Structures are given as C-alpha cells and as structure tokens.
C-alpha cells in the first residue's frame, strides 16, 4: 500500500525552492494549460530580451510534450515541465515517457544538433524549410528542435532513463542565456 505522508508537500517544495524553480507542472498538458503557463512565464521574467527567448523555446518544449509524450492508458503523469534559474541562465526542463525504440533516433538528432554551430544550424533549418516535403507537418519535419537550439544558444543537456524494456523517460534541459 502506498502511503504518502504530509511531509511530501514540504519536501517537494524544498526541492523546487532549492533548484530555484519558478514554474512547474506535472501531468497532462492541454492547450488551455499551455496558454496559462506561457502567460505566467511572461510575467515571471522581468528582462524582456530573455523573456522573448524563453517564450520561444518554451512553446517548442511544450509542443514537444503534447506531441511526443507516450500516452499510456490510465497514466496521469505522462510529462513534466519546469522553468527555473541557474546562476547564469534561465532553464527549461522537460521530461516525458517515450517508447524505447524511439530513443536511438532522438538521441542521434540531439547529438547532431549539439555538434553544430549557429551557422550550421541555420543552414540545416533553411534546408528543411525550403524542402518540398511540405505535407509532412506532423513533427514539423524537425524544425522545432533546431529552432530551440538557435534560440537557446547553448548545448542541450539530456538523458534517457530506462523505465522497463519498452519505455524510457526522456529528460531535456535547455538553457537560455542572460547576456
């Protein structure tokens, strides 16, 4: 029998406070919720320049969560989103379940994005933008992840945590500079 004691809320709060988390949600992400989270993030970040960058990256992050989270019947917590602040950066962190057989493709893509500089990322972006495969909009043809890297200006940090043979939990941290 699971029995969470009342300290759980305190401990979670302490954990969030310690990591300077400004905004978080764990559960199912609906379009209405995304609108609310975005407007909260807007009012939370004072610096307009940073806010615009965070806003851009955040929309792509949340879209990825709604699009790519593995939906398992009865699962109340398919994904988590956090917006927080490190010493020098705002960070956006997401976590979602994915099928294990998708790990390789995603990791290959992340390695590629992390290996490219701004100019190379822009070239790749333009290549996809102008390609004729305009009917394959399901995943945005991969523009989102390149866009996030361009707006962030920092390398992605990520991890895949094995849940069982068929499922993994994918975490991604995107930093947005203060400048």
Partner 1 sequence: MKSLRVKKGDTTPELDFDVDKMEFLLEGESRSEDVLIFYEPIINWLTNFKEWFLKNESSKKLDFHFKLEYYNSLSAKFIFSIFKILKEMQVKGLEINVFWFYDVLDEDLLECGEEYEKILGFKFEYIAL
- Please say which residue, 14 or 35, places its beta carbon nearer to partner 1: 35
- Please say which residue, 17 or 32, places its beta carbon nearer to partner 1: 32
Site for partner 1 in 11-40 (CB under 8 A): 31, 35
The verdict on 78 binding partner 1 (CB under 8 A) reads no
Pick from 133, 110, 113: nearest CA to 122: 113
Torsion angle, CA of 175/104/113/170, rounded to 10 degrees? -10
d(CA 134, CA 120): 22
Binding mask 91-130 for partner 1 (x = CB under 8 A): -------------------------------x--xx--xx
d(CA 114, CA 131): 22
Minimum CB separation from partner 1 for residue 13, in Å? 31
Minimum CB separation from partner 1 for residue 140, in Å? 5
Edge-to-edge strand order for the sheet containing 89-99? Answer: 21-27, 79-85, 89-99, 167-177, 157-162
Residues that bind partner 1 in the complex, under the rule CB under 8 A: 31, 35, 48-49, 52-53, 55-56, 59-60, 63, 66-67, 122, 125-126, 129-130, 134, 137, 140-141, 143-144, 146-147, 150-151
């Amino acid at each position: 029998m699971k029995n969470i004691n009342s300290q759980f809320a305190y401990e979670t709060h302490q954990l969030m406070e310690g990591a300077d988390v400004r905004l978080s949600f764990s559960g199912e992400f609906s379009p209405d919720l995304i609108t609310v989270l975005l407007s909260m993030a807007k009012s939370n970040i004072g610096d307009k320049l940073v806010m615009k960058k965070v806003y851009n990256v955040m929309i792509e992050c949340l879209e990825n969560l709604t699009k790519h989270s593995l939906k398992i019947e009865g699962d109340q917590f398919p994904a988590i989103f956090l917006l927080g602040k490190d010493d020098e950066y705002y960070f956006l962190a997401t976590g979602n379940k994915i099928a294990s057989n998708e790990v390789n493709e995603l990791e290959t893509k992340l390695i590629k994005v992390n290996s490219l500089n701004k100019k190379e990322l822009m070239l790749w972006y333009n290549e996809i933008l102008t390609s004729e495969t305009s009917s394959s909009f399901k995943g945005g043809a991969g523009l989102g992840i390149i866009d996030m890297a361009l707006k962030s200006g920092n390398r992605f940090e990520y991890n895949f945590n094995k849940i069982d043979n068929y499922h993994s939990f994918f975490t991604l941290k995107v930093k947005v500079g203060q400048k």
